[in-house]
Structure 1
Amino acid sequence: MHIDLAKKKSGWHKAAGALVFGLLAACGAHAAVGMTELPPRGEDGPVTLYYPSAAPERPVQLGAFTLALAPDAPPQPGNGRLVVISHGSGGSPVVHSDLARALVQAGFVVALPEHRGDHFGDTRDAGPESWKRRPQEVSRAIDAVAADARFGPLLQVDRVGVYGMSAGGHTALTLAGGHWSPAEFQRQCAAHLDQDFQSCVGLITSLHGNWLDGLKRWVAQAVLRRYFGSDTAWYGHTDPRIAAIVAGVPAAADFDMATLAHPVVPLALVTAPGDQWLHPRFHSDRVLQACAGACVHLANPPGAGHGSLLSPLPPGLTGLEGSLLNDPPGFDRGQMRAVDQQIVGWFQQWLLK
């Protein structure tokens, strides 16, 4: 399929033995990174795959990005395990390609489903409407990869990893056994609108400390009550094939934290102390408090902002989007390579048993 992308309590924190870890890290370490796309199925969008290949890489232009890849190349056997990445709101497969490369070089196949109504080309369902669908989309992406004639024979999908960032982190927490509610989203926003404004309204507007802020608050609360306050259902979805999860800067204010106290699989979090979009106080910190002793705080890179987990970071971001996603001043982006390796190590520990 031609690429078209212009567009788990004790002991969880213990690392695998050094010798075993070294052997696992070497698996697939010299493979080139292939990339291809599985076509849409039903209402689901395409699924982008990164995978080990023996074919040579070449520069590939994907929108504003140039990546070294082996496009549509034949896959070669890796470690036989799959990791699914759930992108954030308005996201794409490209902005997680550095993590995908690190995973492929450790032998994993990496799948990124395009979340319907909440990707770079269409954000009409960003928020709770997309959050309801995303976990099932991850399950169906596993189905699609397992059914593919090229990749199915190379993989065992009884132990799959999931990484999710931002809204994808919300997906990851749901798959870890968390239950959330649109009405809880509205309630949290009613209680903490000013302090967590961008989580509640997204990129539509921001507060500037002037007379218009009162109108913005009124409109935001009215919209949140109308569209989310009446939906008091609690949503959840797990998949027995998923055996380890990492949630990066997750949207989490709308979860019943009791449901995350004992995750159904090994759960790790990557956080960002400078996150101005999903303030840790209302999101990742609450999860870490809820699952203390039953989850792992895998990484908290100093100075990182929300978009620091995107790699590569989209170039030329300006305005509100830029202020929320661009790296904070003085942030050392080079440290994210070590974060990627910590994520790889987490999946090696739990998927390669």
Structure 2
Amino acid sequence: MHRYAPFLLACALSFVAACAQAAVGLTELSGVDDGPVTVYYPTAAAERAERLGPFTLQVARDGAPARGNGRLVVISHGSGGAPWVYANLARVLVDDGFVVALPRHRGDNHTDTSKRGPDSWKLRPAEVSRAIDVVGADARFAPLLTLDKVGMYGMSAGGHTALSLAGGRWSPGQFVRHCEAHIADDFHTCMGLLTRLRGDSWDGLKKAVSLRAIRWKFGDDTWQLHDEPRIRAVVAGVPVAADFDMQSLAKPRVPLGLVTVGLDAWLVPRFHSDQVLAVCSGCERIAHLPNAGHGALLSPPPPAHLLGELELAMLGDPPGFDRTVLPEVDRKIAAFLRKHLLP
């Protein structure tokens, strides 16, 4: 045996023991101009049950951060979203040593939905940049992180943010043209959860009124771009994508992975994720869930009794979908980010 082998073995065992003892810490940081930034991170503090919104999660609230792998991942939530429905993915990322930050997007979160749609999409990428700044300025996290390689995950409207930060450009005018061409086939992309088509005599009026409102509000053809050089790897889950210039996503500025589903009634895949994958030969389909709906990547999912009829139809799991596949999806997302952010 090599004379250093016992020492190296002891170090390895110490490292494994330290990892086994690591728990998930949780804290909330105040943004300068934005809402709070929720942070999940490695800690040696003991976890306990905490009531967070409608969920009970095992976390070490405000426990002292422990050194992980030195990298930050930002998660951009979906429309009307909250940080708790990404807790399972955050735990997998923390287990890998990442610090995970979730900014609350102004006007499109669980407390305020006044800017849903393109109005929010314009704001979100800069909010991600400021969230990186906020975490990097915090005395607890600054010594533990190097912010030259930050990862990004976004789901749904957060997926739109992710595509923007991968180098994609979009415009409200593109959104209008998509809705003019596909209002019947992709109605909820255009109108969200305000109403639904029911196959009756009211559908024509609903489509006409919807298009009139969309044209009035979102006729601007100015390309929307945001450059954030610190972000070096991006994953988009079931993203809003129909309003992008697809050629801007043909060669993303950073590695781009997608998580897709087959039964998305909110963002019909052929207009969104399928279009990105068709044009981007270098993108990686990290996972595909053929029997899943739009809300499959919310984990834990929002309680059904808190959702309205239309919300449940859009976010609820289709019959036969098995959520036990989700931990493996989370591990694949983490593996993609490890590959491109470490060492």
Shorter-chain-normalised TM-score: which range? Answer: over 0.9
Preserved contact between residue 111 and residue 141 of structure 1 (Cα < 8 Å): yes
Preserved contact between residue 28 and residue 79 of structure 1 (Cα < 8 Å): no
Partner of 1:336 in structure 2? 326
Preserved contact between residue 31 and residue 134 of structure 2 (Cα < 8 Å): no
Secondary structure at the residue paired with 1:271?
strand
Preserved contact between residue 87 and residue 300 of structure 2 (Cα < 8 Å): yes
Matched, 1:61 2:51: yes
Matches within 5 A, 1:120-199: 120-199=110-189
Cα deviations by residue, 1:149-170 (Å, 9 ceiling, x for unpaired)? 0001100000000000000000
Partner of 1:288 in structure 2? 277
Preserved contact between residue 183 and residue 228 of structure 1 (Cα < 8 Å): yes
Secondary structure at the residue paired with 1:300?
strand
Counterpart of 1:48, as a letter, is T
Matches within 5 A, 1:108-127: 108-127=98-117
Counterparts of 1:257 and 1:39, CA distance in 2: 36
Counterparts of 1:175 and 1:54, CA distance in 2: 33
Partner of 2:303 in structure 1? 315
Counterparts of 2:16 and 2:121, CA distance in 1: 33
Give the deviation of 1:215 after TM superposition: 1.0
Matched, 1:297 2:277: no
Partner of 1:261 in structure 2? 250
Matched, 1:274 2:260: no
Counterparts of 1:295 and 1:26, CA distance in 2: 36
Partner of 1:32 in structure 2? 23
The two structures have a TM-score, normalised by structure 1, of 0.91
Counterparts of 2:58 and 2:198, CA distance in 1: 41
Counterparts of 2:95 and 2:285, CA distance in 1: 24
Preserved contact between residue 31 and residue 131 of structure 2 (Cα < 8 Å): no
Give the deviation of 1:290 after TM superposition: 1.1
Cα deviations by residue, 1:47-82 (Å, 9 ceiling, x for unpaired)? 000000001100000121000000011111001100
Counterpart of 1:202, as a letter, is G
Instruction: Say what the alpha-carbon RMSD is for the aligned residues.
Output: 1.4
Counterparts of 1:61 and 1:193, CA distance in 2: 40
Matched, 1:51 2:41: yes
Counterpart selection for 1:243 from 217, 232, 240: 232
The alignment-based identity, stated in percent, is 60
Partner of 2:5 in structure 1? none
Preserved contact between residue 28 and residue 104 of structure 1 (Cα < 8 Å): no
Counterparts of 1:29 and 1:239, CA distance in 2: 34
Secondary structure at the residue paired with 2:222?
coil
Flag structure 2 segments of 5+ consecutive residues without an equivalent.
Answer: 1-14
Counterparts of 1:29 and 1:336, CA distance in 2: 22
Counterparts of 1:347 and 1:329, CA distance in 2: 31
Partner of 1:105 in structure 2? 95
Going from structure 1 to structure 2, the CA distance change for 1:170 and 1:28 (only over 3 Å counts) comes to: farther
- Bigger CA radius of gyration: 2
Preserved contact between residue 57 and residue 69 of structure 1 (Cα < 8 Å): yes
Secondary structure at the residue paired with 2:42?
strand
Counterpart of 1:36, as a letter, is T
Secondary structure at the residue paired with 1:69?
strand
Aligned residues: 327
Counterparts of 2:84 and 2:17, CA distance in 1: 25
Counterparts of 1:291 and 1:339, CA distance in 2: 21
Counterparts of 1:77 and 1:346, CA distance in 2: 21
Matched, 1:72 2:72: no
Preserved contact between residue 29 and residue 106 of structure 1 (Cα < 8 Å): no
Counterpart of 1:296, as a letter, is E
Counterpart of 1:144, as a letter, is V
Counterparts of 1:25 and 1:289, CA distance in 2: 42
Preserved contact between residue 23 and residue 45 of structure 2 (Cα < 8 Å): yes
Secondary structure at the residue paired with 1:259?
helix
The two structures have a TM-score, normalised by structure 2, of 0.93
Going from structure 1 to structure 2, the CA distance change for 1:323 and 1:103 (only over 3 Å counts) comes to: same
Going from structure 1 to structure 2, the CA distance change for 1:275 and 1:29 (only over 3 Å counts) comes to: farther
Partner of 1:211 in structure 2? 201
Flag structure 1 segments of 5+ consecutive residues without an equivalent.
Answer: 1-23
Which range moved further: 316-325 or 129-138? 316-325
Counterpart of 1:37, as a letter, is E
Going from structure 1 to structure 2, the CA distance change for 1:26 and 1:54 (only over 3 Å counts) comes to: closer
Cα deviations by residue, 1:34-53 (Å, 9 ceiling, x for unpaired)? 000001312x1110000000
Give the deviation of 1:30 after TM superposition: 4.2
Give the deviation of 1:174 after TM superposition: 0.3
